[in-house]
Structures are given as C-alpha cells and as structure tokens.
Amino acid sequence: MIADRQQQILQRLNQAGKVLATELAEELGVSEDTIRRDLNKMGQLNLLRRVHGGALPLQLDVPDYADRLEKKDPKKQKRANQAVSLLKPGQTIFINSGETCRYLALAIPKEMPLTIVTACPLVACELVHHHKAEVILLGGVLFKPALRCAGAIALDMVRRIRADICFMGICALHPEHGITAKYIEEAAMMRAMIEQSDQTIAMGGSDRLGLISNHEITPLKQLDALITDKDADPTMLKLIKAKNMAIILV
Amino acid sequence: MIADRQQQILQRLNQAGKVLATELAEELGVSEDTIRRDLNKMGQLNLLRRVHGGALPLQLDVPDYADRLEKKDPKKQKRANQAVSLLKPGQTIFINSGETCRYLALAIPKEMPLTIVTACPLVACELVHHHKAEVILLGGVLFKPALRCAGAIALDMVRRIRADICFMGICALHPEHGITAKYIEEAAMMRAMIEQSDQTIAMGGSDRLGLISNHEITPLKQLDALITDKDADPTMLKLIKAKNMAIILV
DNA sequence: GTAAAATAGGCATAAACATGCAAAAAAGCG
DNA sequence: CGCTTTTTTGCATGTTTATGCCTATTTTAC
C-alpha cells in the first residue's frame, strides 16, 4: 500500500517536475501528515529532494554545463545527472575513467564543495572550473589504452584515501560474474577504489548488462546501485536486483 | 516552494547573465522582499554574487586551457622542435606544465622510446599515442590556476625520480633574479624537478626575458640552456650568457 | 547636494511542520 | 481462524518557516 503510494508520488514528481504536499494529500485521499511522512522518508532515501511545501525531483537542480564534450550523448548525460543527484556537498568521491565519467564530471555543479579523486587526466581537466572542489589526481604510470593512471603507485595512492561514493562507468556487468574490465591493471584500480568507498554506484547503458569481459573486478554484492536506461531487459534487472543492488532507470 | 523559486532564479541568472530583484519579483509573482531574502541566502551559499539591485553569476577567471592549443603558435612550435632535437632515445625527462610544454609533448616523435614525467594532465593527454613512451603522471592535489598537480604528494613523487633533462616553459626570466613563477606551489614543483635533473632547459618567448614574477624558482646558474626567439634583446642575452647558460635562438 | 531606488529589520499572519497519542490496518503466528 | 505484535494512519498540539507589509536606513544616480 505504502509502496504503491510512493510510486505514485514519484510518478507525479517526474511528470510535473514538483509536487505539493497539500495537493498530494487531496489527490491520493490521505492526510497531509501521511504525505509528509512519505516525502521525508523518500527524501532520506535520496529518491527526491524534500523542500518546504513539497518535493522536487533530484535532477532538476543540475544545470547543463555539458557544452564542452563534443558529441553529446543524451543518455549518458541523463545517467550522469542522476548520479550527481546522489551527491551531497562535502563528500569525497572516486570517479573512474571513461566517457561516462567525463559526463559525470561535467554534470557536477560548479559550486558544490567536494573532494574528487580520479586516475583519469581527462576527468581532471573537466574539473578545472570547479572552484569549490578539491581535485586529487592519482599519479603513476599512465596506462594508455584506458587513459588513466594505474600500477603500483596509483594503487598505493588509492589505498590511502577513504571515500563516500565511488562512481564507476562499467563496460560489462553480469548477474553472476559481476563487473569485469578489459585490462587487468584497470580491474585492479577499480577494485581498490570500490574497497576504499562506503558506497559504489555503477553507471552504464542497458547494452552493457549481461556482458562479461576479461578481468573480474568485483561481484555485484559489493555494489550498491546501478544507473542504466529504461531499455534494460526486465528479467536481467530482476536478477541484478536479487543481488541487492538498487536500480535507477533514466 | 522556495527551492523551486531559487532554481528559477539560478536559471535566469545563467541565461541572462544578471537578474534584477524587481523584475524577479514581478515575473515570479512574489514580493520583492521575498526575492531579496532568496538572493541574500543564495549569495551566502556562494550560488551567485549579490549586488545592489539584483545578482550576478559567479565569474570565473580561469582561462580555458583545453581550448587554447587550437590557435597554433608557430613560434612555440619552433621552440618545441628545437627542444625535441636535444632528446636522445631512452632518456627520462620532466616536462613542466603550460602551453609551451603542450607543444613540446606534441612535437615528440611518436616512436621515440622515452620516460616522460609530468605534473600536467593536459601534457599527459597529448602523449596518449606515444606507444613507445612510458608516461608518468605526478599525482596529488590538482592546482587549478596552473592546471597541474602540486603539493606534498606531487613533490614527494618528483623526489623519487631522477631525470636526464628537465624541460621548463618559463613565465619570467631575469639575469639577476633567475626564473620566477606566479604561484608558490608551482615554484616549489619546478625547483624540485630541476634538482632531480642532470640538465635543465628553459623555453620561452623573448617577451618573457627580463621579467620577474612572485616566487623565485632558481637562479640562472642552475639552468643549462635557454630556447627563445631571435627578437630577444642582445644586451639581455649577453647578461644571460654571462650566467653560464647556452642560448638557442629559433 | 537631493531624489529615487534598493535595502535591512521588525512585525503579523498563514501555511507548513514536528511531535505525541490513539485508533485502525496489516502482518505474523500458533 | 483468533490472537498478538507491528506498522500505518489521522488527529490535536505547539512550533517553525515563509511571506508580505511597514518603516528607517543605505546606496545609487543625477
């Protein structure tokens, strides 16, 4: 019952761009108190942004800074915006390498105070104008196929950092085999980043689901959420959800 | 719905470049007092710059490094080519940050085996296709005014590396005051790189000669050669040569 | 200098809110 | 099914917040 109502609230929120507590109470036939309790709970779960009077969708306050990445991919932008909505000011985050991660970097509000750690020089370059962010670049040997630093030095740096969230653009995600990477150096870096983070959020198109690459990074139970698109196969999603991952469809 | 209104204000601000309190009050259908309270609050949160009458967007004074190389500078290219001619296969080199150094990176032959160490993510990106080169990126906190890593971690990494040549794009070179940098963090990194190298080669346009910036890096006697252009003042060159520097004019 | 606009602070009001409590509904269990 | 336990809900309470209006003050423009 409750889940149903919260689903309805989310639906209205995404449709209208905002919801008012009073309106919801009337339209859903429950008291305002109940609605407020719902909204508060959902706000804590990061399903929406609670404001005085009602609630707003999470991605509404993310301005569109993505004008520097040439070939704009709206799906990746959407995923990035959704990922950014999970961020809270003051957090420390890992950002992996890859195009998805560049979109993520661009989507981060310029005024948000954060500590951003990345092994990818391109991600670092995108963050030059984020004055409130401390950007930490993981050093070491540049691993060129993936354009990121890897190897002993980079791994050592990762292991000295503790982060709130690890954002990971994924190439291959399989319900049984977890996430996998093409190069072993990459896999080692990603595993280290996940281990050093309280929470890990995987991002990737629905075409990446069910794939297996060469080197295992980690099983799905180590991951907390997956941001993918609505084209994803429902059975696949069910299997992933069974591994205790939250699914966010954009 | 305060948050909703504040988002609208931000949107208008980014779109128009400024907002007036009176206009906002009328267009958003609330009193001017409310708008002012919003603007003040947002100003305190550093979301905008509050001014008498309205608000302005936070202005960014950082040049857009990523786009600056498009307008090709033939003089810098010549200097870069001259610098590359001093390289021998198998050497280990430091490349400093700055536009001059990006030209240098681009001028390095793609097939030359080298170990290239840099603190600048953009220089690293230019070297992705140099398959024979091992690129080492100095990590640590990204120092944004110069788009390079600096601070304790980067310094520590520099001091573990021994290089044959250090290439240094210079902002200011003075016969008596040596080379100087605008930021102290930059100066410290450059000094460390010079100390760890057998040979240091300075590169810079003739307009940089005779200038003094804020933070001393090192006196000229620590440097081995200067690559500059033929417009350089002869007297100045004589003074520099007296400090035991080789002069290469291109 | 003056006049007009913009602003800051005080105050009142209505809406939104948190909290405690009891009734109602749902879930668990023998 | 009947019973207990837990959760959810609605109501009453007092509190907080947002807003608009007022006045005194500051800033700006001329």
Q: What is the ipTM of this complex?
A: 0.47
Does residue B150 sit at the A interface (CB-CB below 8 Å)?
no
- What is the domain extent for residue B37? 2-56
Question: Can you read off the two tokens belonging to residue B133?
Answer: 């080169």
Asked if B49 contacts B19 with a C-beta cutoff of 8 angstroms, the reply is: no
Mutate to test the interface with B, among A23, A69, A144 (most CBs of B within 10 A): A144
Identify residue B31 by its one-letter amino acid code. Answer: S
Q: Are residues B103 and B48 in the same domain?
A: no
Q: Are residues B143 and B172 in the same domain?
A: yes
Domains: count for chain A: 2
> What is the separation of C-alpha A225 from the centre of its chain, rounded to a whole number of angstroms?
8
Torsion region of A194: left, alpha or beta (phi above 0 gives left; psi -120 to 50 gives alpha): alpha
pLDDT at B61 over 50: no
pLDDT tens, position by position, A60-83? 333 332 334 455 677 888 889 889
Cβ-based burial of B142 (10 A; exposed 0-12, middle 13-18, buried ≥19): buried
pLDDT tens, position by position, B102-133? 899 988 988 888 999 999 988 988 888 788 88
Section A176-204 average pLDDT: 90
The C-alpha of A138 sits at a distance from chain B's nearest C-alpha, in angstroms, of 5
Section B27-32 average pLDDT: 89
Residue B45 or residue A125, greater confidence: A125
Nearest-CB residue to A137 (from B46, B135, B149): B149
Q: Are residues A170 and A241 in the same domain?
A: yes
Least confident of A39-53, A81-95, A199-213, B68-82: B68-82
The residue out of A58, A74, A106 marking a domain boundary is A58
Q: Are residues A145 and A38 in the same domain?
A: no
Q: Are residues A112 and A234 in the same domain?
A: yes
pLDDT tens, position by position, A112-167? 889 999 999 889 888 887 878 889 999 888 887 778 888 888 888 899 888 999 99
Q: Are residues A35 and A122 in the same domain?
A: no
Q: What is the CATH number of the domain that holds A193?
A: 3.40.50.1360
Does a structural domain hold residue B25? yes
Q: What is the CATH number of the domain that holds A52?
A: 1.10.10.10
B62 contacts on A by Cβ (under 8 Å): 128-129
Residue A2 (CA) to nucleotide D5 (C1'), in angstroms, measures 19
B10 contacts on A by Cβ (under 8 Å): 61, 63
Section B216-227 average pLDDT: 94
